[in-house]
Structure 1
Amino acid sequence: MAEAARKRRGRADEDALFDRQLDHLPPEARWREWMNRVEATIFAASEPVGREALAKIVGKSCSIDLLIDDIREELRGRPYDLVSVAGGWKHLTRPAYADAIRAAVGGGETKTNLTQSDVLVLMCIAYFQPITRGELSSFFGKEVSRDLIGHLRGAKLIASGPRSPTPGAPYTYVTTKEFLLEFGLDTLRDLPDFEALEDAGLLSKEKLLAGDIPLGLVGSEEAIDEEEPEADVVEALLP
């Protein structure tokens, strides 16, 4: 208890020493300094920086959204941008420069090697979470393998959700923050509209229900489809 109190006092002392308000500066200079602080913090961070963290370095009356808008406006002609992703903000290079970066330093591939089957199962989890493996299998008309689920869990794209209220209380699966980062989404609300995907011919619920999409089968001689994800399906998930 005493140690926790000392840590709280230490943080309070640090906050007292750090001038968030900048009342001594004229308004324009104050705003510029807040912009610099926010951009520097996001630039230095390896993960998206959330609103709560940014609120610690600017004045209480400061609008973080307006700061971000002004920073993005200044970056309009730059090869990188400040992007809202996974509940925070992160510096990302613009897609138009992906080939140049790849030619110069290599890399640039998708962080996780996903097969077509992985993408389709992941898409269903994203849209219908929390969902059990049995429910996924029923949806596709074929059994979704434990190995496939394990691959997505190992990539940290999905995690265990609450136990299902159905008999046996099986685990459900939900997407993660890493899923949002992988596909450049801020929240799940940014997923493409399911009906829009059907209308565009990128996804057919009827085919999924009929089991026409190849998936890895438990106890089956049929191998998991190891092809690369279809570009149109992957691009449909991207903002």
Structure 2
Amino acid sequence: MAGSNAAKAVRGRRPKSKDEILFDRELEDLPPELRWREWMLRVEAVIFSATEPVSREILARVVGKSCSIDLLIDDLREELRSRPYDIVAVAGGWQHRSRSAYASAIRASQAPTRSAPAYLSEHEAAVLAAIAYLQPVTRSELSTMFGKEISRDTIASLRDAGFLGSGPRSPTPGAPYTYVTTKHFLSAFGLETLRDLPDLERLEDDGLLSRQALVREELAKEGADGDEQDQL
């Protein structure tokens, strides 16, 4: 029985590609200092060539099992200290980013960049910010907050730009869909996690952004509409 289970486990494994078999991650033939240097160069090459932030799991494929990726990144960033770009932590991974001090020079050059930011209207930016802070949030809750209807077109535009995804169903009556931000949102705005959003705690403490308050207002409005229909 045990032999049968082992055979099934072997059959269920993904066969290694030729590149994986030939690729030497451990570099045991190199002295420690050269091994570390080679791992640094591999990690930088992967991050440099990637179009999206590179996760820890991806980087682990090109270095030894005992290698500390965090220490490698620290050493790489130290070497780049005098350069106009850096390796930054965004969206759960790492990415090469030019330093903000050179943003005006890059804009003035009008050179095409790897990831041109999507243009957002003032209204779209405000809706996206509200979703980022209140997520998961429904379109109805957003409309309550803004005091006017948030159109499906606005939500669709933010989704098409890759900033929004579908969240869980809301527990409010009718169980409408909610909206949440994506990893692309984090990457586009240079955030590692949503905890890096500015002044989130202060906004909540001041009561300027409160999902619970929006839900209470929405339920109260629906209750008032129901009472009016009962009277009719």
Fold match by TM threshold 0.5: yes
Q: Distance in 2 between matches of 1:110 and 1:141?
A: 32
Q: Distance in 2 between matches of 1:107 and 1:44?
A: 16
The alpha carbon displacement at 1:142 in A equals: 2.2
| Deviates most, 152-161 or 48-57 | 152-161
Distance 1:18 1:70, change over 3 A: same
2:99 aligned partner, one-letter code: R
1:64 to 62, 69, 72: 69
Q: Greater helix percent: which structure?
A: 2
1:147 aligned partner, one-letter code: D
- For 1:1-239, what aligned pairs fall within 5 Å after superposition? 8-11=14-17, 14-106=19-111, 111-196=117-202, 205=208
3-state SS in 2 of match to 1:114: coil
The alpha carbon displacement at 1:179 in A equals: 0.7
Q: Distance in 2 between matches of 1:110 and 1:34?
A: 30
Q: Pairwise CA RMSD of aligned residues? A: 2.7
1:44 aligned partner, one-letter code: S
Distance 1:139 1:112, change over 3 A: same
3-state SS in 1 of match to 2:96: strand
| Deviates most, 135-144 or 65-74 | 135-144
3-state SS in 2 of match to 1:111: coil
2:208 aligned partner, one-letter code: K
The alpha carbon displacement at 1:103 in A equals: 2.3
The alpha carbon displacement at 1:78 in A equals: 0.3
3-state SS in 2 of match to 1:9: coil
In the alignment, structure 1 segments of 5+ residues that lack a partner are: 210-239
| Deviates most, 105-114 or 132-141 | 105-114
> What is aligned with 1:218?
none
Q: Distance in 1 between matches of 2:16 and 2:64?
A: 21
The alpha carbon displacement at 1:198 in A equals: 8.5
Q: Distance in 2 between matches of 1:94 and 1:197?
A: 28
Which structure is richer in relative contact order (CA contacts within 8 A, separation 6 or more)? Answer: 1
Matched residues, percent identical?
A: 63
| Deviates most, 80-89 or 103-112 | 103-112
The alpha carbon displacement at 1:154 in A equals: 1.5
> What is aligned with 2:226?
none
The C-alpha deviation readout for 1:161-209, integer Å capped at 9, x for no partner, is 111122222110000111111111111111112244699xxx9828xx9
3-state SS in 2 of match to 1:131: coil
3-state SS in 2 of match to 1:91: strand
